[in-house]
Structure 1
Amino acid sequence: MDETPGLAREWKKSTHAGKDIDCYDCHKALPGDKDGYLHHKVMIATIVTPKDCAACHEKEVTQQQPSHHAKGGQILASLDNLMGEVIGGLPAVNAGCRQCHGSVVELDAKNMPTAETWPNTGIGRINLDGSKGSCSACHGRHRFSAAQAREPDTCGKCHLGPDHPQKEVYEESKHGILFASFRDEMNMKSKKWVVGVDYTAAPTCATCHMSATQTQGVTHDVGDRISWTLRPPISQKLNMIKLENGDEFDLPASQPLPKVGDAAKGSTVKQIVSWQKRREKMKDVCMACHTDRQVNQHYEQFDNLVDLYNDKFAKPIAAMMEELKKAGYITPAPFDEKIEWTWWEIWHHEGRTTRHGAAMMGPDYTWWHGIYEVAQHTYFLWIPEMKEVVMKKDGNTKFADDLLAKYFKPIDGHDWYFNGLSKEAIDKVRKGFEERYGKGSLK
């Protein structure tokens, strides 16, 4: 305690301290622990893992281990990580990507975590004892407060920025505005925290994705109520396949469902949770405050936006990118041509932003930071770049023009690109503009 007095004081304010759970109870190293070392004549470990927490919090860890959060470390084998390590550099990955997604913990000769892998409270940290994740990513050491984990700022450590702007979208939304206005009415420190009962001012991120309703208990499986995936180039609705070994995985609704008892991923299927059931769980949260009509119509608006993004932009561009690769206009290697960076940002940045904006009712992120930039970059960056790579090889743009005719021209939303804005559309704009600014103001 003399070595880290600040941490000791925080611990004294915790529920742990009130139940006589001390430093050694959490940090003790069991026989066989790879990271155990002698400290003041007792064997301890620096890193407290979900497996350690499960000694008291078994239910919570059982829910957390198969979750999207615990699997955050899977980025270590992704295009994102390739970009980070190769194009950026490993120090940037260690101090950046891995601080949210998690690192693979490694030890030095003294059984201490290496500087490349520690400190790290990444949500998907891969621990030496085989467990995944870090409870302190949300429940900050050493107070481990449930109230702190309910704060949107806690989620904002990772869920912000151009490729996952959930915190910014939330703050813009009516929900976020209400939370900021009536924060002192949120009863955040209550042990029981049921939306519509213990608080009514606003939901937080935890409310929608994890916390209790009058019909659902708390869950530490953050994907349990998510029916769309908004991360990849093309969104799909997701069924959840739960396995006998305690793991689970998402299966796109476009793929055939297994049956209970079927072999899958080294185990057998225990339960299938359809995307519709996952959506009903989220709707249950919404209906703590809203009517079913309002909730259903929000989802209709959300679905329509995702379908617009998918069908007008993502699917045809992805198909054209594949044809360009097959025909040898661009290489199979990622990120070695400008057009690949442009497509990456269309889906990975603006595409995700518009989809999350619609999901969480953030109009500015849905439009100006979202579909507006998707469209702008498609028409005035990606298409010219496609024509450029084709021209470079063929000396003309015929292959590019043929792709646009095949994939874009049949879509009504692209008609203006081929034929210009209609006189009717221009006259409508002119009328509204002149009513506001005077006759002749729109030249």
Structure 2
Amino acid sequence: WIVGEDYNAAPTCATCHMSRTKDLSVTHDIGDRIAWNLRAPVSAKVDSKAIEKGKKVKPWLQRRKDMKRVCRSCHGSNIVDAHFEQLDTFVVTFNEKFLIPSKKLVTAMLKYGLRDKVKFNEAIEWDYFYLWHHEGRRARHGAAMFAPDYVHWEGVFEVAHRFYIDMVPDIREAIKKARENGNVAGADKVAALLKEVLDSPMHRWFEGGKPPKAWRPSDDDNHGFNIMKARMKAQVEAAANR
């Protein structure tokens, strides 16, 4: 059957990711129409690792175009374009606000001796895993799949709680213990990185600082959305020129 012709309601996974449309053939590669890797600790375009290794694979932009063809079988172009702009903005914001800083922090803790190499024997490792693997994946996949409850209540709300209420106190406790045990240099390094993160525009509210203004197109201080949109535009242009 053909999406939008023989079947146009309550799609299954196969409907969008595998099925034939009026201008696309059936595929058994479920990643063939996916632009982002939403499973990783930090999301990246699905072709990024292959490009780093010098391999040629189907570019993410072509995958996105194919997925949009599927979407337009049932939806108007405005809805489709708005959805993917929202998805891209969400993923980039989520990366830069939570995923990249948390990864830097747990990596620094290992580097400077504030945690050991044994996996999952310390609270901070569980905090980080839950943040990106459980709540973080739910949020990202919710954004991709028109699922606002999974984006917010089952996603970002829990990610924020995990980051601010679990990770930050656990990192501070590790810094304190490191100083008590004589690892002052390591404690100072991690403390400086934590301060840098919490002083940044997206997190400064947590320490009593002034949060960024709510995003509006006219804002100069708008959570970095202008920067993110510029990055997305550059990625699209680079992909189009490959």
User: Counterparts of 1:399 and 1:301 in 2: how far apart (Å)?
Assistant: 36
Matched, 1:332 2:117: yes
Equivalent residue number for residue 378 of structure 1: 163
User: Counterparts of 1:305 and 1:394 in 2: how far apart (Å)?
Assistant: 38
Query: How far did residue 256 of structure 1 move?
Result: 3.7
Q: Which amino acid aligns with 1:414?
A: H
So what's the TM-score if we normalise by structure 2? 0.80
Q: Which amino acid aligns with 1:229?
A: N
User: Counterparts of 2:85 and 2:205 in 1: how far apart (Å)?
Assistant: 26
Query: How far did residue 200 of structure 1 move?
Result: 1.8
Equivalent residue number for residue 207 of structure 1: 15
Q: Which runs of 4+ in 1 moved over 4 A?
A: 396-400
1:74-104 CA-to-partner distances (Å, cap 9, x unmatched) read xxxxxxxxxxxxxxxxxxxxxxxxxxxxxxx
Equivalent residue number for residue 407 of structure 1: 197
Equivalent residue number for residue 29 of structure 2: 221
Aligned residues: 208
Instruction: Evaluate the alpha carbon distance shift between residue 288 and residue 257 of structure 1 in structure 2; reply closer, same or farther with a 3 A threshold.
Output: farther
User: Counterparts of 1:325 and 1:394 in 2: how far apart (Å)?
Assistant: 15
Note the 1:9-408 alignment, pairs <5 A.
193-239=1-47, 251-252=48-49, 255-256=51-52, 258=54, 272-395=57-180, 398-408=188-198
Structure with greater helix share of residues: 2
Other structure's SS at 1:413 match = coil
1:179-214 CA-to-partner distances (Å, cap 9, x unmatched) read xxxxxxxxxxxxxx1011112223221111101100
Structure with greater strand share of residues: 1
C-alpha contact 2:18 2:28 (8 A) present in aligned 1? yes
1:327-360 CA-to-partner distances (Å, cap 9, x unmatched) read 1110122111111011100000000000011000
Q: Which amino acid aligns with 1:404?
A: L
Q: Which amino acid aligns with 2:132?
A: W
1:24-78 CA-to-partner distances (Å, cap 9, x unmatched) read xxxxxxxxxxxxxxxxxxxxxxxxxxxxxxxxxxxxxxxxxxxxxxxxxxxxxxx
User: Counterparts of 2:77 and 2:53 in 1: how far apart (Å)?
Assistant: 29
Q: Which amino acid aligns with 2:49?
A: P
User: Counterparts of 1:418 and 1:393 in 2: how far apart (Å)?
Assistant: 23
Q: Structure 2: which 5+ residue stretches go unaligned? A: 215-242
User: Counterparts of 2:57 and 2:132 in 1: how far apart (Å)?
Assistant: 29
User: Counterparts of 1:349 and 1:409 in 2: how far apart (Å)?
Assistant: 26
C-alpha contact 2:175 2:191 (8 A) present in aligned 1? no
Q: Which amino acid aligns with 1:219?
A: T
Instruction: Evaluate the alpha carbon distance shift between residue 229 and residue 303 of structure 1 in structure 2; reply closer, same or farther with a 3 A threshold.
Output: same
Equivalent residue number for residue 416 of structure 1: 205
C-alpha contact 1:354 1:367 (8 A) present in aligned 2? yes
Q: Which amino acid aligns with 1:280?
A: K
Other structure's SS at 1:252 match = helix
User: Counterparts of 1:197 and 1:207 in 2: how far apart (Å)?
Assistant: 12
Structure with higher RCO (Cα < 8 A, 6+ apart): 2
Query: How far did residue 401 of structure 1 move?
Result: 3.4
Other structure's SS at 1:272 match = coil
User: Counterparts of 1:309 and 1:386 in 2: how far apart (Å)?
Assistant: 21
User: Counterparts of 1:409 and 1:208 in 2: how far apart (Å)?
Assistant: 42
C-alpha contact 2:112 2:190 (8 A) present in aligned 1? no
User: Counterparts of 2:178 and 2:204 in 1: how far apart (Å)?
Assistant: 28
User: Counterparts of 2:49 and 2:170 in 1: how far apart (Å)?
Assistant: 32
Instruction: Evaluate the alpha carbon distance shift between residue 380 and residue 401 of structure 1 in structure 2; reply closer, same or farther with a 3 A threshold.
Output: same
Q: Structure 1: which 5+ residue stretches go unaligned? A: 1-192, 240-250, 259-268, 426-443
User: Counterparts of 2:199 and 2:209 in 1: how far apart (Å)?
Assistant: 13
Query: Percent identity, aligned pairs only?
Result: 42
Q: Which amino acid aligns with 1:366?
A: V
Q: Which amino acid aligns with 1:406?
A: E
